[in-house]
Amino acid sequence: MVQQIDPEKQEKIVRMARVTVDRWAFLTTCCYTYDETKLDAPVALIPEKDYLRELVILWETKRLLCLPKSRRMIMSWSLRALELHLAMFEPFSAIYLASNKQDKSDAMLGRHKFLYDNLPGDLIFRKPEMVIHRGRTGLPTRIDFPEMDSKIVAVSSDPDELRQEGATLVVLEELATWDHPREAWPAILPVIQGGGRIVIVSSAIPNSFFQDITYDNLGQTVVRAEQKSMMRGA
């Protein structure tokens, strides 16, 4: 006798399988953000915006991605959701997030925790365990997924902190406001050798290092050659 599968349970299995491989589906059906300015409904799903769909495509396909942003675009939340998906579903992922200050980097990991804690139970039957290490401010400074051997680590813009053994993904947040971005950049490039990726997201501030790198106008022959080599492999 063939056992019949409950249709509702079967639908949930299909949806679960989809969100583990389809990052756009994960963002728009699983990821809840928090907006303190919306007092009537501060918690809401990431919306299905065309520019966010394009962001997912670029994030998945480019080794070096520069993203000028403005406020109220949900860009940071969407990037945190993509990083969470990578750490949760792809083994041995090593993700490093850097802002100009350590506490700002730690705050980004706070968003990963919020996204994780609010994943809907009817879509995620069993999410991998999250282990949180907190920094001096009490905010998460490192998140581990032991079952996946994956991690998300917050670091500051200090060049020495970015000299890691290797990274699947390095995210540089608000690069235009960093104190010494030109000194940090040569330390970052070796971190992704072997196939890693860099995502840079920042407000578009004129005459900044972020503008130079976005328009390939670094003015440093060696660094530019390394950057173009990365772009050819993108």
Residue range 60-69, pLDDT digits in tens: 999 999 998 8
pLDDT on residue 123: 59
**Mean pLDDT value across the chain:** 83
In the numeric block, the tokens 């050819």 are attached to: 232
pLDDT on residue 205: 79
Categorise residue 134: left if φ over 0, alpha if ψ from -120 to 50, beta otherwise.
beta
Helix axes 7-21, 23-30, angle to 10 degrees: 120
- Number of residues in the chain: 234
* pLDDT at residue 199 tops 50: yes
Residue type, 139: L
- Measured CA to CA, the distance from residue 27 to residue 99 in angstroms comes to 23
- Measured CA to CA, the distance from residue 182 to residue 101 in angstroms comes to 16
- Answer yes or no: are the C-beta atoms of 99 and 174 closer than 8 Å: yes
Confidence tier at 158 by pLDDT (50, 70, 90): confident
Confidence tier at 232 by pLDDT (50, 70, 90): very low
Provide the terminal-to-terminal Cα distance of the chain, rounded to the nearest Å. Answer: 52
Quote the pTM value: 0.84
Confidence tier at 190 by pLDDT (50, 70, 90): confident
- Answer yes or no: are the C-beta atoms of 87 and 115 closer than 8 Å: no
Lowest-pLDDT range of 41-55, 86-100, 153-167: 153-167
Q: Computed from CA positions of residues 70, 139, 85, 11, in that sequence, does the dihedral angle turn out positive or negative?
A: negative
- Measured CA to CA, the distance from residue 217 to residue 186 in angstroms comes to 15
